[in-house]
Amino acid sequence: MKQSAKGVIICGIGGQGVVLVSNILTEGLMEMGFDVKKTEEHGMSQRNGAVNAQIKFGAKVFAPAVAKGSGDLIIAFEKAESLRWLEYLRPDGCLIVNDVEIEPVSVQAGKEKYPENLSEILRAEIADTIIINAAEAAFRMGTIRAQSMVLLGISVKKLELGSFAWTAKIRAMVPEKYQEANINAFQYGLSLV
Amino acid sequence: MAGNNKYFMMGNAALARGAYEAGVVFAAAYPGTPSTQIFENAAKYPEIYSEWATNEAVAAELAIGAQMAGVRALCSMKHFGFNVAADPIFPCVYNGVLAGLVFVVADDPGQATSSTEPDARRWGPQMRIPILEPADSQECKDFTKAAYEISERFDTPILIRLTARISHGTGIVTFAERQAVPIKPYTRNLSKNVGMSSLGKFKHARLEARVKDLAQFSDETDLNRIEWGEREIGVISNGISYQYVKEIFGDGASYLKIGFSYPLPEKKIREFAAGVRKLYIVEELDPYMEEYVKQLGIPCVGKEIIPAVNELSIDVIKEAFGVTGEKRRRLDIKAPERTPNFCAGCTHRGVYTAMKKHLKKVIACGDIGCYNLAVLPPYSVHETMQDMGGSIPTAISFWKVFQLAGRPEKPFAFIGDSTFFHSGMTGLADAVYRKANIVVFILDNRSTAMTGHQDHPGSGRMMDKTPTEPIEIDDIARGMGIKEDQIRYVDPYDLADLDNAIQEGIAADKLYFIVARRPCPLLPETRKARAGISCVVSADKCTNCKACVRQTGCPALSIAEGKAVIEREDCNGCGICAQICRFQAIETVGGLR
Ligand SMILES: Cc1ncc(C[n+]2csc(CCOP(=O)(O)OP(=O)(O)O)c2C)c(N)n1
C-alpha cells in the first residue's frame, strides 16, 4: 500500500534550532487539521552531536518515522548532515541545505575529512536542491539564531502550506526579544521560492 | 493547542497528563533517558506532589508508601532503574494496593542512550505484574487512566512499558478534566502492608489467583483488539511495531494489537490465529509474545525473520517480509562522525586532561554520567564502567587483586555527584570499612547533568527551584570516618593543582578523597555568573601546533586559516586550553577566573 502521509526530515547539530522548527511546523500542521506525528533523536546534542526530527502528516498517520525513499522534504541545517538522510528522500523529493559547514572534533583533529565540493555533488544528485546560507541571512536580520526561520520559510512554501498564519505561531513560540528577527527571517525564506 | 482540547504532545508528557486526569497526587522518579520527561511533566501540575528521588528504589518505595497511605501514585524510570527498583516492587505485587499504583519503565531498543538493550516485558511473568503498552501519545494518556482503574479493580500495582520511540514520539492528544479521587482512609492492615514469611504462602496463592483473573480481563479488554482486514496475513504486534506494520500493510492484512501484554490474551490469540492464513509476530527485542503463541501450539513466524537486536523500522520490517522498498538515493560520500564530547567549559575536561599524564600509574574505574565520555579520545582515561555506583567497589576489587598480583597501579574511582547519592555512598562505606587504599575522585558539578540537569540532595534546589540545604559529599565522607588529611579539594579549572592532587592520590597509603567542585557550565546560574568571560587567541603568538584542539577536543575551539580560533559565544573562559598552550597564545578575558 502506498503511504498517503507526507514525510519531512529535519537534521542538524544541537543548538541550531532543529527542535524549535520541528515544534513550530508540527503545531501549525495540527492546527491546519492534519493528523501529525513526530519522532526526534537528540542523542547527546548538548555535546555537539547530530540531531534530527522526522515528521509525518496527512489524513491519518501511523508511524512517525519516514521510510527510506519516501520522504518529501529534507531540511539540513548543516551541509554534511544531509548525507545521513539522503536515502530517505523520494527520487523527486526536495532537499533544502543550509550552506554552513560545522567541522566535528574528528575533522578538527585531522582524523577525518569534511567532504569537499558538497554543494555541487548535492545539486548534481538531486534536481530539486536549494542551498542557502541561512546563517548569513539571519545575521543580517539581527541574530544568527534566526537561521532556522529562513529554512522554515522555504520549507513552508515548498510543502504548499503558505495559507497558515505561521507568523503568529512563531510569535507564540520564540522569546519576545527575538520575535521580529525570527519573523523577518521567516518571511525572507518564503520570498526565496 | 488546536481547539477541541487537542494538544501536540510527547508520549512522556501525555502519560503525565493521563496521571493528572486520573487524580494522581504523588509522583516519584529518578531521571534516566528516555523516561525523564514523564516525571518532569507530572511535576508541572501543582496537584501532584513531586520531588526527584535519590534513586529508583527510593522512588518506588515512596510511591508504594503513598498508595498505602491512600493516594494514587506514579513512579517512572528507565530500564536500568527498574532493576534497582525491583526489590521493593516484588513484595508490593504480593501485597496489592489500597490506592492505584502505576510504575512506568522506558526501554531503549536501539540503545541510543543505554549500554544494554533489555526487554522489560519479561518482568511481567517474573513478578506477575500486569503490563500495558501504549502505541502513541494518545494511548499514553488513555492507557495511564485505564491503568489506575485496573490497579484498583484487581488490587495490584501495574506496569506501563514504553520504548524510546513512544516516549519521545509526539502526536495529537485530546484532553479531559481531572477526576476527583478522594483520599482513601488508611487503616492498619498487616496482611497488606507487611511482608513476613508466615504470611507469604497465603499471599502467593492469592497472587496466582489474581493472575488468572487478569488473564480473563486480558481477553475481554479493548486494550487488546483485533482489526480484520485481508486474512492472508495476520500480524500480532505491539507498541511502535504495530504502527510500522499498519503503515506497510494497511488493509492488506489483519492485526491483533496487543496493548495489555501481561498476561497475554489466550482466547483472542486463538481466535485471531484461526481467522488468518499465515500468522506473524512483529515485536521489537525479545520473542516475548512469540514464545507464548508457540507454547500454545500455534504455528507462527517471528524471530525467524524479525531481528531481536536493535530497534525495528519500516525498512527493517519490509525487508523481513520481502516487500520491496521505494527507490532511494545513495551517495558514496559519508557525513563525518560526530562523536559526543565534553561541552565547552565542562568541569570534567580539566580533570581528564590532568589524568592523561598519569595513566601508567593508575587504573581508572569509571561510572555513569557525562564523565563516562572520558573513556573516549582525546582522553582515553576510564577503563571500566558497569552500572551506577560501580566505580568505588570496582576500585576496591582492583586494589585487592592487584595487591595479590603484585601490580603497582593505583585504583582510582571517578564518580559524579548525582551518581554518588544514587548508589555511591554504600560503596564508599565499604571502602572505608575494608581500609581500601584507593583514590575516590568526586566530580561534583552540582547537578545531574547527563540527563538534563535534574536536582538531587546535593544540588541545593528543590523541584520548584526553591533552595534547600545541600548535603555536601565531603561531609558524608567525614561522617564515614575519612579524616581531614585524606580529603583534598581541587578546582577542576586548575590543571597544575589537579596534577598535584592526582600525584598525592597516587602516593597516598590510605584512602584519598578528592573533591573537584564547580557547577556545570550549562546551569542557568553558571551561565549568568560567567557571562562575558571567555578565552581569546593572540593570532601572532599561535604557531598552529593544534595542541589545544587535539588535547581538549573543546567544541568552542577550531582551526581556521592556520590559527586557533575560539567561538566566544560558546566559550565560558574555563582556561584549560590556555593552560595547555606552550606559547601563551591564549588568555582568559572578561572577568576573573
Ligand atoms: C540505574 C540508572 N538510573 C539512571 C540512569 C541514567 N543516568 C545516566 S548518568 C546519570 C546521572 C549522572 O549524573 P552525575 O553522576 O552527577 O554526573 P554528570 O552527568 O553530572 O557529570 C543518570 C541518571 C542510569 N544509567 N542507570
Domains, chain B, with CATH or none: 6-184+195-220 (3.40.50.970), 224-321 (3.40.50.920), 347-526 (3.40.50.970), 530-589 (3.30.70.20)
User: Does A87 contact chain B (CB < 8 Å)?
Assistant: yes
Cβ of B371 closer than 6 Å to ligand 1, yes or no, is: yes
**pLDDT surpassing 70 at residue A116:** yes
Q: Using alpha carbons only, give the angle B500, B417, B66 rounded to the nearest 5 degrees.
A: 165
User: Could you report the per-residue pLDDT of A26-58, keeping only the tens digit for each?
Assistant: 999 999 999 999 999 876 545 578 899 999 999
Share of chain A above pLDDT 90, in %: 81
Domain boundaries, chain A: 6-191
**pLDDT surpassing 80 at residue A100:** yes
Which of A33, A43, A115 minimises the CB distance to B112?
A43
ipTM (interface pTM): 0.95
Query: What distances in angstroms separate CA B209 from CA A146, B159, B202, B267, B516, one per listed residue?
Result: 61, 19, 11, 18, 55
Min Cα distance B482 → chain A (Å) is 36
Share of chain A above pLDDT 70, in %: 96
Preceding amide of A175 cis, omega within 30: no
Chain B environment of A42 (Cβ under 8 Å): 168
Please, what sign has the CA dihedral across residues B226, B232, B237, B241? Answer: negative
Share of chain B above pLDDT 90, in %: 92
Cβ of B76 closer than 6 Å to ligand 1, yes or no, is: no
Q: What is the pLDDT of residue B197?
A: 85
Which atom, in ligand 1's list, is nearest to the CA of B32?
6
Within the 515-574 window of chain B, which residues sit less than 8 Å (CB to CB) from chain A? 522, 546, 549-550, 553, 555, 557-559
Nearest CA in chain B to A126: B329
pLDDT lower than 70: segments of chain B = 1-3, 592-593
Closest by CA position to B239, among listed B151, B124, B108, B80: B108
Taking CB atoms and an 8 Å limit, are A84 and B342 in contact across chains? Answer: no
Cβ of B391 closer than 6 Å to ligand 1, yes or no, is: no
Q: What is the pLDDT of residue B593?
A: 45
Within the 1-20 window of chain B, which residues sit less than 8 Å (CB to CB) from chain A? 2, 6, 8
Taking CB atoms and an 8 Å limit, are B339 and A105 in contact across chains? Answer: yes
- B498 Cα: distance to centroid of ligand 1 (angstroms): 24
Q: What is the pLDDT of residue A1?
A: 39
Residue pairs between chains A and B whose CB atoms are closer than 8 Å: 160
Enter the CATH code of domain A6-191.
3.40.920.10
User: Could you report the per-residue pLDDT of B96-152, keeping only the tens digit for each?
Assistant: 999 999 999 999 999 999 999 999 999 999 999 999 999 999 999 999 999 999 999
User: Could you tell me if A6 and A56 are in contact, meaning their C-beta atoms sit under 8 angstroms apart?
Assistant: yes
- B80 Cα: distance to centroid of ligand 1 (angstroms): 11
Q: What is the four-CA torsion angle of B445, B449, B450, B455, rounded to 10 degrees?
A: 110
To test the pocket of ligand 1, the residue of B368, B453, B461, B523 to mutate (highest count of ligand atoms within 8 Å of its CB) is: B368
Report residue B264: phi and psi, to 5°: -75, 155
- B456 Cα: distance to centroid of ligand 1 (angstroms): 11
Return the C-alpha cell found at A53.
526530527
Task: Name which residue sits closest to atom 22 of ligand 1, judged by CA.
Answer: B32
Q: Is the pTM of this model over 0.95?
A: yes
B431: how many CB neighbours lie within 10 A of its CB? 24
Which of B136, B315, B338 minimises the CB distance to A48?
B338
Chain B environment of A18 (Cβ under 8 Å): none
Within the 27-86 window of chain B, which residues sit less than 8 Å (CB to CB) from chain A? none
- B114 Cα: distance to centroid of ligand 1 (angstroms): 11
Nearest CA in chain A to B558: A108
Taking CB atoms and an 8 Å limit, are A30 and B249 in contact across chains? Answer: no
- B450 Cα: distance to centroid of ligand 1 (angstroms): 6
Within the 9-48 window of chain A, which residues sit less than 8 Å (CB to CB) from chain B? 13, 26-27, 30-31, 33, 35-44, 46-48
User: Could you tell me if A57 and A27 are in contact, meaning their C-beta atoms sit under 8 angstroms apart?
Assistant: no
Distance CA A111, CA A26 (A): 38
SS3 annotation, chain A: CCCCCEEEEEEEECCCCHHHHHHHHHHHHHHCCCEEEEEEECCCHHHCCEEEEEEEEECCCCCCCCCCCCEEEEEECCCHHHHHCHHHEEEEEEEEEECCCCCCHHHHCCCCCCCCCHHHHHHHHCCCEEEECHHHHHHHHCCHHHHHHHHHHHHHHHCCCCCCCHHHHHHHHCCHHHHHHHHHHHHHHHHCC
Q: CB neighbours of B179 closer than 8 A, spacing ≥ 6?
A: B21, B22, B23, B145
Taking CB atoms and an 8 Å limit, are B244 and A62 in contact across chains? Answer: yes
Cβ of B522 closer than 6 Å to ligand 1, yes or no, is: no
Closest by CA position to B272, among listed B215, B221, B228: B228
